[in-house]
Chain A
């Protein structure tokens, strides 16, 4: 479809009289409003899902590069053992950084399993060492063998393995979210095309005939219909988007990262994304109605 800027500017102009020539159609009007609203509501959720999955994927992906070295031994020897482990790690090619976690960090890591009041210091909790690898990575089997020989209590816990499916799942969810958004807007376009066609067919043949009789161009007639439906879709979508935002706002917040069903709330600038929904709805309605109107007009002289 060719982009006609004059049509877009006239669409946004304040002259509300132009679309008065199109008779009010209570039923299709409400239908369009409702459809756009419902679709926008769903789109906000799909968007939330996509963005949350994106965040989760990033998070899991980042964590992928972190391995933990658990070192379980009598408290007295703990410091020496940790020292030894850090030395071994620093000698391992492919390890870019090795750092013993402090008690607060350990507590934070264990919180999802044991709650926030865990007395880490007085429990036989292993000392955790965070290992970051270089891009090339380190030789896991080699490191494991060396640890077995020199520090029998140490466990190399390679998160990569169990995080990989998580990253994959998050990626797939994100993809599904975007697919859903695409389908939602596709369905909205289809429904608005149907509504516009119905409106054009029902009483508008006569209207178009009168307008043609008094010298209206196709562009004028199409504009009147397009304006109607675009404004309707945009206002419906705005309402749906606002209701969707409120619903997302009422979801539990993102603190409990462990659960895929929580943390759907938008974060930071992501709150701006839903504002695009009514704009997109208006664009879809504009294209759908214009196509429908010009198709009907073609058949009349």
Chain B
């Protein structure tokens, strides 16, 4: 199906997934080539979040094979899953923060977890927080933030380890048009730096806006399958 470059960061081969009932996703094959830019759309409940979880090893396919960095997800040890996660920045749909830690601590959590040099990390953190417009909120606790602020923070956290791949689930769901354009611009810039990007979104206007900046492919989940969206977008 969507065959691209020979080497790929994430590969799905005839993947099927079911939460226990009937199959939610069937016969899904996809190669995410390094440096590619994908949008993922589909109606609510179609399985976009599920699909992304298969892409970062949070779920194991119930059929077919998923490979992260050329390794079968099934054969990865728990530690190897953790190491793979450090190369994949994930913006979760409901953000997921540690509510007892400040925003700055939450954003730098991946650094703490990987035991990285504190000083270099600090300047990195400052720059990133300014970039997403949160430098004034560094000390705030996550429950005190607006939905849009949380999403920007989640994006900053996903970026702080400078991962190869960024998977973002509805990263612009709660922000106004201007902010969504800024976030998109950020992701486009990252893509130009060579990062592989996949954004799940309902927001077709966002996709249209992106098309003028970047060569993006649009995938759609519909009827349990993954399709290449038509040119109607």
> CB within 8 Å of B: which residues of A?
17-18, 20-21, 23-24, 206-207, 209-220, 297, 301
Q: List chain A residues, Cβ under 8 A from B51.
A: none
Sample of 14 more A-B contacts, CB < 8 Å, known A214-B110, A214-B157? A18-B112, A21-B112, A23-B100, A212-B81, A212-B82, A213-B58, A213-B85, A213-B90, A213-B92, A213-B96, A214-B85, A216-B113, A218-B79, A301-B81
Q: Is the C-beta of B99 less than 8 angstroms from some C-beta in chain A?
A: yes
Task: Tell me whether A210 and B96 are in contact in the complex, defined as CB-CB below 8 angstroms, given that A215-B85, A301-B58 are known contacts.
Answer: yes
Q: List chain A residues, Cβ under 8 A from B110.
A: 214-215
Contact B112 A301 (CB under 8 A): no
Q: List chain A residues, Cβ under 8 A from B92.
A: 213
CB distance from A193 to the nearest CB of B (A): 22
**Per-residue A-contact encoding for B101-131, CB less than 8 Å = 1, 0 else:** 1000100011011100000000000000000
Contact A214 B109 (CB under 8 A): yes
- Interface residue range, chain B: 20 to 34
Q: Which of B98, B99, B100, B161 has a CB less than 8 Å from the CB of A215?
A: B161
**Per-residue A-contact encoding for B66-89, CB less than 8 Å = 1, 0 else:** 000000000000110111011000
Count of A-B contacts with CB under 8 A?
Answer: 62
Task: Tell me whether A214 and B105 are in contact in the complex, defined as CB-CB below 8 angstroms, given that A23-B99, A23-B100, A301-B57 are known contacts.
Answer: no
Contact B96 A23 (CB under 8 A): no
Q: Is the C-beta of B17 less than 8 angstroms from some C-beta in chain A?
A: no
CB distance from B164 to the nearest CB of A (A): 13
Q: Is the C-beta of B37 less than 8 angstroms from some C-beta in chain A?
A: no
> CB within 8 Å of A: which residues of B?
57-60, 78-79, 81-83, 85-86, 90, 92, 96-101, 105, 109-110, 112-114, 157, 161
Contact B85 A17 (CB under 8 A): no
Contact A215 B86 (CB under 8 A): yes
Which A residue sits closest to B109, measured CB to CB? A214
Cα-based distance from A207 to B99 in the complex (angstroms)? 9
Cα-based distance from A21 to B109 in the complex (angstroms)? 8
Which B residue sits closest to A298, measured CB to CB? B78
Contact A23 B82 (CB under 8 A): no
